[in-house]
């Protein structure tokens, strides 16, 4: 009997070993698109349908930096080599200024804008800051630039033809000046077709969605016949509809996010193709595509960790084969880091986030916090990402100081967020052995998010909707898994999915309309980010350009300027040394003075400005205007004494600035006894 038992064990165990050795590393079905034409078509049509309204939208926010005010983009094809050879803000600023630690090198999307501009850049003409900046360099024309900026019928007005634009220039330039500078006038004012830019973004998003569906179908093969409840379809559908993606799609600048995620997912797909087929061509394609993804956005580097995790979770591939599949990604990464270092400089091509942190609150929101406060605030914002993925309301594009308040570790929201992320990390690590889908989804959420969490590298703001674009794939996988495979009945599955689909669709559709133009976006931001210094400033600027600058009725203009002033004042209340807000404050104050000729409110504004900046160009220009026009008054004398002697000399101890304002007062009122005594006291010390 013992022999028979032994023989039986051998007869059972031998077939098992044979069967195991025959299990393929990964099966990728053929004819996928034919079999899944209906779900693929639904996903693509939804992607396009949700965002096609952006076809009539304008450029907004950082679109000017990467596109319509970018000097390299305006060169079209001729600018592409420089785009790949320089830091990504050089085309806008004219030089590398290292605004953020590590600078930025994301040339791929900017190069696509240059190609667009080559074909569609002469359809419209618009004078913007780029145009005025260039012509301030021309001594013969510089004196006319300020008049153009204040001309509401010319500055930032879109002209549909070259003829209409040249006709508008006749107001400020002679025929000879136009003839001599016509080529440059047109080159710097050439304004691309924003509708085309938005349409390209929408189409790219639609293709990204199809790629995601194809990839998830490889990772999560069908386990039931109902295609509308498969994990791949449900997860992709949630991704398509999620409102947090609006910023990445409806903002032209968001193309870098779309191209980067496309590159990352395509790299993952071809890596899996190699695991399944062992064809070298798939390795080559994975490396090339990975490089393109990196050139769109450096955060694609996180997939160096995520792709091996994917092969571990979803294939039976050997360690050797998995290691080989990473080689082209490593090579592509080294090529990217070399290109980046050559373009940006700095000597250390492995340093992605180095450099001195900015002291400007708008580019370093943690600059005024202690280390403990900064860490607490960072974890609080990480908790907000989860909240917005689960319940995406309210949404804003402006998370600048202090939309997110300064947090401490005594705040319950901070503690809960920390515990949530610690719990997710532990759950994901424990799920490695079981290769659980929720654990994989958490890894897909956490790894890309780490790059934009501010925990290691400063990203220049607290958070942004687009920062979670990559990580939302992991969230959608987890939610899709719950709906498709864990809920007890099709009724509950479809019920929850229906609620999410309707809710996400409605929120996304209404949120997209906020991005129509700068004004509509600022109206939305001020409603949802009332404590953001930037949102208040941008709202003041939008109101000024849309209404106050163009108004001809004096009384209406005064009312509008007061509304503008209220937003500027709120911005400075939040951030008193906000340079851009101070500039706008001076502009509004001088415009109000020109209407009512009341000097006292103007001088009060000047006082608040110089207490922050000490020297301000607008203040100096107006003070010289009063002096040279013999418009001095007792109020000016009192201002000079108060700001020069009482504040800068007695209170601050800044003798140089004190002398400037005391001497100004004496220049308009040389016999004023108080100023004479102040000057004598200043000289005597």
Q: Which tens digit of pLDDT belongs to each residue from 148-175? A: 888 888 888 999 999 999 998 988 888 9
Closest to 587 (Cα-Cα) out of 539, 550, 635, 622: 622
Question: What b-and-e string marks burial along 158-174, b requiring 16 or more CB atoms within 10 Å of the CB?
Answer: ebeebeebbebbeeebe
Closest to 605 (Cα-Cα) out of 550, 662, 562, 654: 562
| DSSP β-bridge partners for residue 159 | 125
Element (H, E) at 124: strand 124-125
Closest to 609 (Cα-Cα) out of 578, 637, 638: 578
Which residues neighbour 374 within 8 Å (Cβ) at sequence distance 6 or greater?
366
| Amino acid 2: pLDDT | 46
User: CB of 637 within 8 A of CB of 675?
Assistant: yes
CA distance linking residue 641 with residue 661, whole number of Å: 7
User: CB of 401 within 8 A of CB of 362?
Assistant: yes
Out of 564, 597, 630, pick the residue that ends a domain.
597
CA distance linking residue 395 with residue 380, whole number of Å: 16
In a domain, 31, yes or no: no
CA distance linking residue 368 with residue 380, whole number of Å: 17
Backbone phi, psi, residue 155, to 5°: -70, 125
CA distance linking residue 203 with residue 544, whole number of Å: 35
In a domain, 586, yes or no: yes
Residue 231, preceding peptide bond in cis (omega within 30° of 0): no
Residues 100 and 166 in one domain: yes
Residues 126 and 157 in one domain: yes
Please give the residue range of the domain that contains residue 65.
54-194
Write out pLDDT tens, residues 250-298: 999 999 999 999 999 999 999 999 999 999 999 999 999 999 999 999 9
Residues 495 and 555 in one domain: no
Question: What b-and-e string marks burial along 543-570, b requiring 16 or more CB atoms within 10 Å of the CB?
Answer: bbbbbbbebeeeeebeebbeebbebbbb
| Amino acid 152: pLDDT | 80
In a domain, 25, yes or no: no
| Amino acid 462: pLDDT | 95
Task: Give residue 126's region: left, alpha or beta (phi > 0; psi -120 to 50).
Answer: beta
Radius of gyration of the chain (CA): 30
CA distance linking residue 406 with residue 397, whole number of Å: 19
| Amino acid 142: pLDDT | 84
CA distance linking residue 101 with residue 106, whole number of Å: 15
Residues 224 and 234 in one domain: yes
CA distance linking residue 397 with residue 523, whole number of Å: 11
In a domain, 605, yes or no: no
Residues 91 and 125 in one domain: yes
In a domain, 49, yes or no: no
CA distance linking residue 456 with residue 299, whole number of Å: 13
Tokens of 238: 């949630």
Backbone phi, psi, residue 159, to 5°: -110, 125
In a domain, 522, yes or no: no
Out of 194, 209, 238, pick the residue that ends a domain.
194
Q: Residues 596, 597, 601, 606: is their CA dihedral positive or negative?
A: positive
Dihedral, 306, 312, 314, 318 alpha carbons, nearest 10: 130
In a domain, 479, yes or no: yes
Q: Which residues of the chain have pLDDT under 50?
A: 1-20
Out of 194, 213, 237, pick the residue that ends a domain.
194
Tokens of 501: 């689909």
CA distance linking residue 364 with residue 461, whole number of Å: 6
pTM attached to this predicted model? 0.91
User: CB of 57 within 8 A of CB of 198?
Assistant: yes
Residues 177 and 67 in one domain: yes
Residues 189 and 226 in one domain: no
**Structurally, how many domains does the chain consist of?**
4
Could you give the 3-state DSSP secondary structure of residue 553?
coil
Distance (Å) of CA 412 to CA 206, 368, 399: 40, 22, 21
Instruction: Please count the other Cβ atoms lying within 10 Å of the Cβ belonging to residue 225.
Output: 7
| Amino acid 134: pLDDT | 87
Residues 391 and 283 in one domain: yes
Q: Give the mean pLDDT of the chain.
A: 91
CA distance linking residue 529 with residue 654, whole number of Å: 37
Residues 588 and 478 in one domain: no
Looking at 52-125, list the stretches that DSSP marks H as alpha helix, in order from N- to C-terminal side.
Answer: 63, 80-85, 90-93, 107-120
Residues 503 and 542 in one domain: no
| Amino acid 100: pLDDT | 72
Helices 412-434 and 437-450: crossing angle in degrees, nearest 10, is: 130
Residues 199 and 170 in one domain: no
DSSP letter assigned to residue 65: I
Closest to 223 (Cα-Cα) out of 488, 493, 438, 485: 485
Instruction: Please count the other Cβ atoms lying within 10 Å of the Cβ belonging to residue 280.
Output: 11
Residues 156 and 295 in one domain: no
In a domain, 128, yes or no: yes
User: CB of 362 within 8 A of CB of 534?
Assistant: yes
Q: Which residue has the tokens 């319509």?
A: 68
């Amino acid at each position: 009997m013992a022999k028979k038992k032994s023989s039986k064990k051998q007869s059972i165990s031998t077939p098992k070993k044979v069967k195991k050795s025959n299990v393929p590393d990964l099966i990728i079905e053929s004819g996928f698109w034919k079999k899944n034409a209906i779900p693929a078509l639904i996903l693509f049509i939804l992607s396009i349908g949700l965002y096609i309204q952006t076809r009539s939208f304008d450029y907004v926010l950082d679109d000017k930096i990467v596109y319509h005010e970018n000097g390299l983009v305006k060169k079209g094809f001729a600018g592409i080599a420089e785009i790949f050879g320089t830091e990504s803000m050089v085309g806008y600023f004219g030089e590398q200024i290292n605004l953020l630690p590590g600078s930025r090198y994301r040339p791929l999307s900017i190069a696509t804008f240059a190609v667009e501009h080559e074909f569609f850049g002469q359809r419209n003409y618009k004078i913007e800051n780029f145009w005025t900046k260039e012509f301030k360099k021309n001594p013969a024309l510089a004196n006319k630039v300020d008049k153009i900026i204040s001309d509401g019928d010319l500055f930032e007005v879109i002209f549909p033809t070259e003829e209409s634009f040249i006709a508008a220039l006749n107001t400020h330039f002679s025929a000879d000046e136009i003839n001599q500078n016509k080529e440059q006038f047109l080159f710097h004012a050439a304004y691309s077709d924003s509708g085309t830019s938005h349409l390209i973004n929408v189409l790219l998003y639609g293709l990204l969605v199809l790629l995601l569906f194809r990839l998830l179908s490889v990772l999560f093969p069908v386990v039931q016949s109902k295609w509308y409840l498969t994990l791949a379809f449900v997860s992709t559908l949630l991704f398509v509809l999620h409102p947090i993606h609006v910023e990445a799609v409806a903002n032209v600048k968001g193309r870098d996010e779309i191209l980067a995620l496309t590159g990352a997912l395509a790299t993952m797909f071809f890596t899996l193709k190699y695991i399944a087929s062992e064809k070298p061509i798939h390795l080559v394609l994975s490396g090339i595509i990975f490089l393109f993804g990196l050139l769109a956005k450096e955060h694609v580097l996180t997939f160096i960790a995520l792709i091996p995790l994917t092969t571990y979770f979803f294939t039976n591939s050997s360690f050797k084969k998995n290691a080989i599949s990473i080689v082209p990604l490593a090579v592509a990464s080294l090529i990217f880091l070399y290109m980046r270092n050559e373009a940006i400089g700095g000597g250390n091509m492995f340093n992605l986030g180095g450099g001195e942190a900015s002291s400007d609150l708008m580019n370093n929101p943690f600059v005024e916090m202690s280390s403990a406060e900064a860490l607490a605030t960072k974890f609080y914002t990480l908790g907000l990402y989860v909240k917005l993925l689960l319940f995406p309301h309210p949404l804003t594009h402006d998370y600048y100081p202090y939309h997110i308040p300064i947090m401490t570790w005594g705040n319950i929201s901070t503690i809960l967020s920390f515990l949530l992320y610690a719990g997710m990390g532990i759950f994901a690590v424990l799920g490695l052995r079981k290769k659980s889908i929720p654990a994989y989804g958490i890894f897909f959420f956490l790894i890309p998010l780490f790059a934009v969490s501010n925990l290691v590298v400063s990203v220049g703001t607290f958070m942004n909707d687009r920062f979670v674009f990559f990580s939302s794939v992991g969230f959608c996988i987890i939610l899709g898994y719950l709906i498709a495979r864990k809920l007890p009945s099709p009724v509950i599955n479809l019920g929850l999915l229906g609620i999410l689909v309707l809710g996400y669709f409605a929120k996304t559709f209404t949120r997209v309309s906020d991005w129509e133009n700068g004004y509509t976006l600022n109206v939305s931001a001020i409603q949802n980010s009332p404590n953001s210094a930037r949102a208040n400033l941008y709202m003041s600027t939008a109101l000024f350009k849309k209404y106050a600058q163009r108004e001809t009725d004096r009384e209406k203009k005064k009312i509008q300027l007061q509304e503008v002033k209220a937003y500027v004042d709120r911005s400075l209340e939040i951030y008193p040394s906000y340079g851009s807000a101070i500039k706008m404050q001076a502009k509004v104050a001088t415009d109000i003075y020109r209407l009512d000729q009341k000097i006292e409110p103007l001088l009060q504004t000047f006082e608040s400005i110089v207490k922050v900046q000490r020297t301000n160009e607008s203040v100096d220009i107006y003070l010289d205007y009063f002096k040279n026009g013999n418009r001095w008054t007792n109020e000016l004398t009192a201002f000079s004494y108060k700001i020069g002697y009482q504040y800068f000399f007695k209170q601050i101890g800044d003798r140089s600035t004190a002398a400037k304002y005391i001497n100004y007062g004496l220049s308009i009122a040389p016999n004023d006894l108080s100023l004479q005594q102040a000057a004598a006291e200043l000289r005597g010390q």
